[in-house]
Structure 1
Amino acid sequence: MKHTILRGAVALTGTAALALGTIAPADAARAGVREEKKAVQWLAGELGEGDLLVNEQYDFTDVGLSIDAGLALKGAERKGAVARDIAAAAAGQVASYTQGGEFDEGAVYAGATAKLAAYTLLVGGDATDVDGTDLVAQLEGVTTDEGPSAGRIVDQSAYGDYANTIGQSFAAVALSRAGSADADAAVSFLLQQQCEEGYFRLPLTADADAEDQTCDGAEGQPSVDTTALVLNQLLEVDGGADVTAAVDAAAAWLGSVQKDNGSFGTGVDGEGANTNSTGLAGWALGAVGSCGKARKAARWVKKFQVASKHSETQLDQEIGAIAFDRAAFKAGKTDGITVETRDQWRRAATQAAPSLQNLSKATCKQ
């Protein structure tokens, strides 16, 4: 089956169970998607003078979330120069972000290494020289060479291994794009994290030596966010029939769990709908050409975006921002976006902003 892939859109893919279509070029079509443009402008405006997001509540530079912001800008095909500036700024934090330094001597954090390497490559950079660090070699060094976990990334840290499926998906992209000999194994291990129903689980099997490393073997828990984020990266991998089949199954599962009002929860029983999950899933469905479902998701997200009509509230200086859910939006109207809540608003925008492009029929075509 042929998939229509928008290279550089960073998220998601196609499905046989859903009608496929051609994604229109962004230039003219997306220029008219006001809501998406405002969301991207707000998000870009959150970057500090050093082109990275700074968490003022806990006083640290959040490199990981900054990369997420860059992925959102790239997914929306807006502010490409800003996305590259984020990569350059993140490069200056390569040691503190991907290695343990004096606090965890000799450590290498697999997920962070994979994420920065993949992002560097996706914006046209050289992952073998990120401020003097060869992130491809560093990633290969934390990729399992043989046995049942061949291809699996593993943290090298005195504090244990916290690598997960999302980090594995970034590793698949980085190693594939770098032409690494470990690429096929990394992709293969990633695909093992998909359960028969079509979703991807977040945690990997706790015992890296266990013979069965699969999602089904561990009865992995459904995750909308993980499934959509993995689809983000699978679009960037030339993996043949196996990747195509995984893409089809994942996209079909996402479509099957959408609520009647267009929203998505996390996939965990009892957890309500939110713009993070809805934005990611809607972004995915739009990329595969399931425009009706994508548009329903975008319309739900739009309900929680700050617009000019909110100028008489405490959100009057936050036009374009996206609240996590109804409660967060209500609180924002009363109290504004506070130091304590700004991180949540930023995370909502990084995951939901690109989904708003699907409000336009010119952008998403079946």
Structure 2
Amino acid sequence: MPSNQPAARSRRYAARGAVALVAAAVTVAFAAPASAAEPDGGTAAGWLAAQADGPHFGEPGVTADAVMAFVAADSASAATKSAIEWLDDPAVIDPYIGTGSDRSAAKVAKILLAAKAAGAESTLGGVDLEKVLRDLEGDDGLFTGGFTSVLGQSLAILSLDRTSEGVSSKAVEALEKGQCADGSFKFTFGSCDDANAPGDVDATGYAASALLAASPGSASDNALDWLESQQKDNGSFVAGYPGAPENTNSTAMAAQALASGGRDAAAEKARGFISSLQNGCDAAEGNRGGVAYDASGFDPDNAVMATVQAVPALTGEGLVELDPSDDKTDVPTLDCSNGGDGDGDGNGDGNGDGSGDGDSAGQLPVTGNALTLPIALGGAAVLAGAVLVFVSRRNRAGKQSS
């Protein structure tokens, strides 16, 4: 049986999402500039938006991650809308998620989560993603399409938790069964006695977020306890393989879960590490706001993947909280007009304080209109009215079926 807990929440998501899609279509030309202290998730999202290849980021998975980053930053809503429209194409979706018996549960879940987080429909490219994902759930609660993993199970729970039907208790229980005695999760389901496959920070971060969304309790608490025990003195985390460096991606996944679980001190410490890898005004102009993968320096080849996961950690709006209702079209960028010569190598100063050679600490982001999509206000008003009618009917239907 699907959990009853998400029913009211899913109606709230529907209302927020529907209104957000209307807002994404309207450009507010006189919107006030964003204001946030550096280092900042908004400026990271601004850098990310500038890396797009038109409406996408090269392939559907990264594009879905970028959508969630924009929602987490409450910005670039026009870029979010364009990305969802790009995903709404069979030529894009089918090669990624697979077709027929070759469908990947993890990939279906990721696209569905991005769609729900953006307030979009569950059907993209002619594929009812919610139905496909439910069909991939086995009798034991595991989602078996493609490679079964803790990551895929967690994404499935997070995405279905945002639907009106919710996620099944079997799916949550199947994830909990994969938890080791120390509170950690491994990347794959299996024995916790294998000394060669220790608990994985990324997998545990995803699992903790999924449990916090669908069934907070002792399992999520134990996962958070384990994450805190793995945090380095500088706030960082490492992936679960030998020789793994302290890195943005693992730290971001842990930080999101810790913040969602109320472990504020540990989450803030993790954000500090990520901020230390964010480029400020001393970086080359095209790299400002981006986040490096690790302390070896800013590498454009892996900076997009580092930044998409860094943004939700920096903003504090993680996988559990993603909400498009307050997203704006503004795309924050660093204002380096009062300092920084822009001749840096793109590696930042390693401190993430944005001071660099030009002492830009304390400057606020400014926003631009590069990614706006204006429409007639009259048409928007009609659309808004239609949305409100839809949401009202949806809520009444939800109450009648509760």
Q: Verify same fold: TM over 0.5.
A: yes
RMSD: 2.9
Q: Could you list the per-position Cα deviations for residues 61-101 of structure 1 after superposition, in whole angstroms to 9, with x for gaps in the alignment?
A: x111111122222233333443343233223222222124x
Shift of 1:320: 0.6
**Residue 142 of structure 2 corresponds to residue 152 of structure 1:** yes
Following TM superposition, the consecutive aligned residue runs of length 4 or more in structure 1 with deviations greater than 4 angstroms are 179-182, 217-220
Match of 1:142 in 2: 136
For 2:245 and 2:166, locate their aligned partners in 1 and report how far apart those are by CA, in whole Å. Answer: 42
**Residue 96 of structure 2 corresponds to residue 91 of structure 1:** no
What amino acid is aligned across from residue 353 of structure 1 in structure 2? V
Unmatched 5+ stretches in structure 2: 1-8, 14-31, 317-351, 353-402
What amino acid is aligned across from residue 239 of structure 2 in structure 1? T
**Residue 219 of structure 2 corresponds to residue 246 of structure 1:** yes
Match of 2:159 in 1: 174
Secondary structure (helix, strand or coil) at the match of 1:53 reads coil
What amino acid is aligned across from residue 158 of structure 2 in structure 1? V
Shift of 1:244: 1.9
**Residue 312 of structure 2 corresponds to residue 354 of structure 1:** yes
User: Where in structure 2 are the equivalents of 1:1-366 lying within 5 Å?
Assistant: 31-35=35-39, 36-49=41-54, 51-54=55-58, 62-92=59-89, 93-100=92-99, 106-127=101-122, 129-145=123-139, 150-155=140-145, 161-180=146-165, 183-205=168-190, 216=192, 221-237=198-214, 239=215, 243-310=216-283, 315-329=284-298, 332=299, 337=300, 341=301, 344-357=302-315
Normalised by the length of structure 1, the TM-score is 0.69
Name which one, 1 or 2, has greater alpha-carbon Rg: 2
Q: Could you list the per-position Cα deviations for residues 261-299 of structure 1 after superposition, in whole angstroms to 9, with x for gaps in the alignment?
A: 111111434322111112222233233333322222222
Normalised by the length of structure 2, the TM-score is 0.64
Number of equivalent positions: 285
Unmatched 5+ stretches in structure 1: 9-27, 55-61, 156-160, 206-214, 360-366
Say if 1:88 and 1:198 are closer, same or farther in 2 by CA, change over 3 A.
Answer: farther
Shift of 1:260: 0.9
For 1:181 and 1:322, locate their aligned partners in 2 and report how far apart those are by CA, in whole Å. Answer: 35
Say if 1:199 and 1:45 are closer, same or farther in 2 by CA, change over 3 A.
Answer: same
Q: Is the 8 A contact 1:266 1:272 kept in 2?
A: yes
Secondary structure (helix, strand or coil) at the match of 1:32 reads coil
Say if 1:31 and 1:251 are closer, same or farther in 2 by CA, change over 3 A.
Answer: farther
What amino acid is aligned across from residue 154 of structure 1 in structure 2? T
Say if 1:292 and 1:180 are closer, same or farther in 2 by CA, change over 3 A.
Answer: closer
Q: Is the 8 A contact 1:222 1:268 kept in 2?
A: no
What amino acid is aligned across from residue 324 of structure 1 in structure 2? Y
Q: Is the 8 A contact 2:212 2:261 kept in 1?
A: no
For 1:245 and 1:309, locate their aligned partners in 2 and report how far apart those are by CA, in whole Å. Answer: 45
Q: Is the 8 A contact 2:87 2:125 kept in 1?
A: no
For 1:276 and 1:323, locate their aligned partners in 2 and report how far apart those are by CA, in whole Å. Answer: 10
Match of 1:57 in 2: none
